[in-house]
Structure 1
């Protein structure tokens, strides 16, 4: 028995291992009885006679336990740390939301619950194949995120194999063609201007939250993410203005959107299920897929973002409004000093008139013909 300066007592086996004298702790007294201490001492001596160092064995077992626990960490658990780190580095909340959306839509359903240590190249290929040739740009970004997350697993000794999401030396030898060789698909396909009234008629007859969100996108010429992230608190019914916060805008600046009577009528039909205007069945933010499906049901190859191009084509070719008005409505970045001045002004009244005419065109197919003289930058119509 060994007694410390503080008075605590413990059992110790003092013996030789090779040419060195070693002390092995057998447990504290009275938690470990004399009989138990003697049993442990005999066990240790037997191991020493068989060339096994009890302390080294215990440390190895502890290391193995830690290693086994680390190797059971799932990809989704690792991804949460990656999301937190990336979100802190991104300039806008929209970028973080896009990362989360990509992982939740394209990655977690395939490998989210798998141990990061067990993921192999066939799993990555199976995950990417459905979108590799139809959404090549998205698939490439998804692959890059997955590669970075698995690199974290390797750096932290969670996995020992190579990174199966790396292109060079790994996926380049898979069945996936090189991204630059994939035939270019127009992901932002726009509807021809003349087809807009017929499409609008079918869209208004469509059911579901995705269809309502798409109507709002058309009526405001906003981006899909801006509409899907819209909250009731952002809607000012008195001023007929929708104010989008800077952290949800691509340019990182607050954007005011004039709401036409048609847009307000649409909002009056939307049930208030949560803070979001357009929600999924659980009251959360509507997904991009839901809005895409609404467009696809009416016309294959058309995407929600494409309606911004349709609106721009209509405004440029069929109205007498200066380009700045539609550019401000689209919230495009203004580098020119004169355009920037108009951006500060907002041109809310002019934009409201423009969107009212756009709504009339969608409803009636009536095109406002461009006048012979168009007021340019010096004096916006």
Structure 2
């Protein structure tokens, strides 16, 4: 039974703390003014939990509220954390995804990845999950999103799955979900995807000279870009985003800034005479308002990766643009005596061995200059083109 009575409370004048027992007390600030508090131990920590003001909460109501809170604590519920959770605005999946995208996109170097990250969720996740609260999304719903594309679009499906997981984990870390994303259990109930070797379809290096004949049959910015890509053994995005201010024609160097490199480090590419010739032929496409080496139809925007791939598809070739890097690597291994680390430096590959990476201080620029000149000579040994143009 409590120590306080309604009459005693009405007669209290002196500010102070008045106990009713079992941790319930009245914090009096003046006559008929004060707040009810419950002092309890929650998960090993002492907590003072407010129950409302004396003007709004009667003694009986305070005792009932204290009793319910003590029961919750015995069940392992933290009343303070539960109150915070109830006050927290629970976002829909769409709103949470947009928040995650806005927070994280600045750390993604690739602008294409920034766009694709949210686009894949818009196309495949938002129709089913977009308007649902993040704390209502569990394994069965995620599986329902992924199942229609899991076997028909395996790579896209894996990306959608990973991005749904990121959004739900963010919601968990923000206090909007009681658990992390259940992606492990989702993976177990999805069918096994067919395995791929993971390699880009690469043109055999022996066929590259013949393909160069095909490229020279017509003059266009996309064909020049692809020729430049082959001669420099660089990535599609690095070539398509290249600008004239990155090129030093006198020193015959192309410096790709770290912000446009996959490894996040500046990469210097020695330019062969053939690569310089490509740039000279590309001058007619120069648009000062964009300064791109190989502008697209809208000169302020780079060529798309698909534009370069179409050159291969129109030639009825089953290869990828990225595969020319593999062709270069195979040529250097089979046709030259250049050390493997020189070829790897030309491809701007990271060094897997962390100890070796820590001690390597050279980028083999002089050796790479000779290597790229030899590669250009090999590519210039043009063979008659037998494919369709």
The normalised TM-score by structure 2 is 0.58
Q: Please give the alpha-carbon distance, in whole angstroms, between the structure 2 residues aligned to 1:317 and 1:97.
A: 36
* Residue 364 of structure 1 pairs with residue 381 of structure 2: yes
Alignment counterpart, residue 83 of structure 1, candidates 75, 87, 101:
101
Separation of aligned partners in 1, 2:122 and 2:145: 12
Instruction: Kindly provide the CA deviation profile for residues 45-87 of structure 1, in whole angstroms up to 9, marking residues without a partner as x.
Output: xxxxxxxxxxxxxxxxxx9xx88xx55xx73x54342234334
Match of 1:271 in 2: 286
Is 1:259 the counterpart of 2:275 in the alignment? no
Structure 1 residue 147: deviation in Å?
2.8
Q: CA deviation at 1:239?
A: 1.8
Question: Deviations along 1:175-194, whole A, 9 cap, x unmatched?
Answer: xx324xx1314442222121
Q: Contact between 1:228 and 1:286, CA under 8 Å: does it hold in 2? A: yes
CA RMSD of aligned residues (A): 4.2
Residue 117 of structure 1 corresponds to 131
Aligned-partner SS, 2:268: strand
Residue in 1 that maps onto 2:245: 233
Aligned to 1:148: 166
* Number of aligned positions between the proteins: 287
Structure 2 residue aligned with 1:33: none
C-alpha change, 1:290 and 1:146, in structure 2 (3 Å) is: farther
Q: Which residue of 1 aligns with 2:367?
A: 350
Bigger mean CA offset, 309-318 vs 279-288: 279-288
Structure 2: gaps spanning 5 or more residues: 1-54, 57-85, 384-389
1:192 partnered with 2:211 = no
Q: 1:306 aligns with which of 300, 323, 333?
A: 323
Out of 114, 118, 121, the position equivalent to 1:100 is 114
| CA deviation string 1:278-297 (max 9, x = no partner) | 44444334443433343344
Q: Could you tell me whether the CA contact under 8 Å between 1:324 and 1:342 is conserved in 2?
A: no
CA distance in 2: counterparts of 1:128 and 1:279, whole angstroms: 36
Write the deviation string for residues 224-244 of structure 1: whole angstroms up to 9, x where unpaired. 232233233212222221101
For 1:256, what is the secondary structure of its paired residue?
Answer: strand
In 1, are the aligned partners of 2:256 and 2:266 still within 8 Å (CA)? yes
State how far apart, in whole Å, the 2-side matches of 1:207 and 1:117 are. 50
Alpha-carbon distance between aligned partners in 2 of 1:147 and 1:343, rounded to the nearest angstrom: 39
Match for residue 332 of structure 1 among 346, 349, 374: 349
Superposed, which structure 2 residues align to 1:158-177 within 5 Å? 167-170=183-186, 173=189, 177=191
The CA deviation at 1:336 is 8.9
Question: Secondary structure of the equivalent of 2:344?
Answer: helix
After superposition, the Cα gap between the structure-2 partners of 1:316 and 1:173, relative to the gap in structure 1 and judged at 3 Å, is: closer
Cα displacement (A) at 1:159 = 10
Separation in 2, partners of 1:338, 1:149: 37
User: Post-superposition shift, 1:311?
Assistant: 0.7
Cα 1:142/1:328, change in 2 over 3 Å:
same
- C-alpha distance 246-112 of structure 1, shift in aligned 2 (>3 A): same
Partner of 2:215: 203
2:131 is paired with a residue of what secondary structure?
helix
Q: Distance in 2 between matches of 1:205 and 1:341?
A: 46
Q: Structure 1 stretches of 5 or more lacking a match? A: 1-20, 23-62, 367-381
Q: Look up the SS of the partner of 2:269 in the other structure.
A: strand
**Structure 1 residues 25-49: Cα deviation after superposition (integer angstroms, max 9, x where no partner):** xxxxxxxxxxxxxxxxxxxxxxxxx
Deviation at 1:264, TM superposition (A): 2.4
